[in-house]
């Protein structure tokens, strides 16, 4: 029986990992999970794992609240110790967090094959820690599961065809998760009962490049305030961002609510008229649920959404935001196009691993 060690460090990675965990169980592959603790999340209680049908971690390292170097170093040390004891056949990592890089490094140095899910993504912005993590993880991986043709093209441009690595386009496991949990969200989500509006734009703002830049944050708030006069804006607000807004004295006219769990987020995505976000994951989820998206960044890893008209980049510019809003209010798109595998990404990856 194959033995896989999965490394995760944040709630989105657990959601992604759950898609493969179900497939591992189906085909009889043994999997153990290491949770590095990178993003401390009080919502990740036993209820979270039960409701989401996610296997609980075999190991918890509880490493958080320190700088990038200290965090990655401590994770590397902790993961290495576990791998030396467990001796798995492969280590599987997701995305682009410090946990991703630490897991890949620990495995590569022990000559354990590394499987990277969500490989080949690039923002071409080296100021982003995530860009460094994803580039280095790709370079030391044994198997690269790519979500899109864009990811394949990025790897080809970097001459990965000359490296001893297997590259496979399997689709995006986030679409698997969205489709799997959509029905459960209909049963468990309560957020819509609490909203004072039924028609609205769903906004999320969390990236430090926006929240920690006073001029960008001011422009984003101004843009959302203007849009709110035409279509109510609902923004689940992280406590850290709320504190920054309070300290900055910026006047918020739109509707803010407390952070929401995954089921409530799916419900908001299902019921909104438009999505405005600086999150990579939410850009895709907007597409999964048939909603246009305005991205509050200068670039995106999901360029196919922009190229095919589902997404527009606005940065922090209020005028670009309103221009994109007016365009989408008058525009219809075909969301049945297969960009991300239509929910088969996890099954395809696990079938390949099982035959490996």
- Residue by residue, DSSP assigns 53-85 as T-PPPSEE----SS-HHHHHHHHHHHHHHHHHH
- Residue by residue, DSSP assigns 177-215 as HHHHHHHHHHHH--HHHH-S-SS-EEEE---HHHHT-HH
DSSP, collapsed to helix, strand or coil, labels residue 303 as helix
Question: 147 and 170 in contact (C-beta within 8 Å)?
Answer: yes
Annotated catalytic sites, by residue?
A: 206
**Strand ranges for 18-163 from DSSP E:** 30-35, 59-60, 90-94, 114-117, 143-146
Instruction: Characterise 214 by phi-psi region: left (phi > 0), alpha (psi -120 to 50), beta (else).
Output: alpha
Q: How many residues does the chain have?
A: 356
* DSSP helix, strand, coil percent of the chain (3-state; round to 5): 50, 15, 35
Specify which residues 276 forms β-bridges with: 203, 294
Q: 207-210: long-range contacts at Cβ-Cβ below 8 A with a sequence spacing of 24 or more?
A: 207/278, 207/279, 207/297, 209/127, 209/128, 209/278, 209/297, 210/278, 210/296, 210/297, 210/316
C-alpha radius of gyration, the chain, whole number? 20
């Amino acid at each position: 029986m194959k033995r896989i060690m999965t490394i995760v460090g944040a709630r989105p990675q657990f959601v992604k990992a759950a898609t493969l965990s179900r497939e591992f169980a189906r085909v009889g592959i043994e999997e153990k999970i290491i949770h590095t603790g990178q993003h401390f999340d009080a919502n990740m209680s036993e209820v979270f794992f039960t409701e989401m049908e996610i296997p609980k971690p075999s190991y918890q390292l509880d490493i958080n609240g320190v700088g990038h170097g200290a965090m990655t170093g401590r994770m590397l040390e902790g993961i290495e110790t576990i791998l030396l004891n467990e001796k798995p056949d492969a280590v599987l990592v997701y995305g682009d967090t410090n946990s991703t890089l630490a897991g890949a490094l620990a495995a590569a140095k022990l000559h354990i094959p590394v499987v990277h899910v969500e490989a080949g993504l690039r923002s071409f912005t080296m100021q982003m820690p995530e860009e460094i993590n994803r580039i280095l993880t790709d370079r030391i991986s044994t198997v690269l599961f790519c979500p899109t043709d864009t990811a394949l093209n990025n790897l080809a441009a970097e001459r990965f065809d000359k490296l001893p690595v297997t590259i496979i386009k399997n689709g995006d496991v986030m679409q698997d998760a969205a489709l799997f949990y959509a029905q459960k969200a209909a049963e468990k989500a309560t957020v819509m009962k609490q909203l004072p509006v039924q028609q609205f734009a769903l906004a999320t703002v969390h990236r430090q490049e926006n929240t920690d830049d006073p001029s960008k944050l001011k422009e984003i708030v101004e843009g959302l305030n203007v849009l709110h006069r035409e279509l109510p804006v609902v923004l689940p607000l992280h406590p850290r961002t709320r504190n920054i807004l309070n300290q900055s004295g910026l006047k918020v006219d739109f509707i803010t609510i407390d952070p929401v769990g995954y089921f409530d987020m799916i419900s908001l995505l299902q019921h909104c008229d438009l999505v405005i976000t600086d999150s990579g994951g939410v850009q895709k989820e907007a597409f999964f649920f048939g909603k246009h998206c305005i991205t509050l960044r200068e670039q995106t890893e999901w360029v196919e959404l922009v190229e095919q008209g589902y997404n527009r980049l606005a940065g922090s510019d209020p005028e670009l935001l309103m221009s994109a809003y007016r365009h989408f209010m008058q525009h219809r798109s075909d969301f049945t196009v297969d960009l991300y595998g239509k929910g088969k990404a996890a099954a395809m990856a696990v079938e390949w691993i099982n035959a490996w």
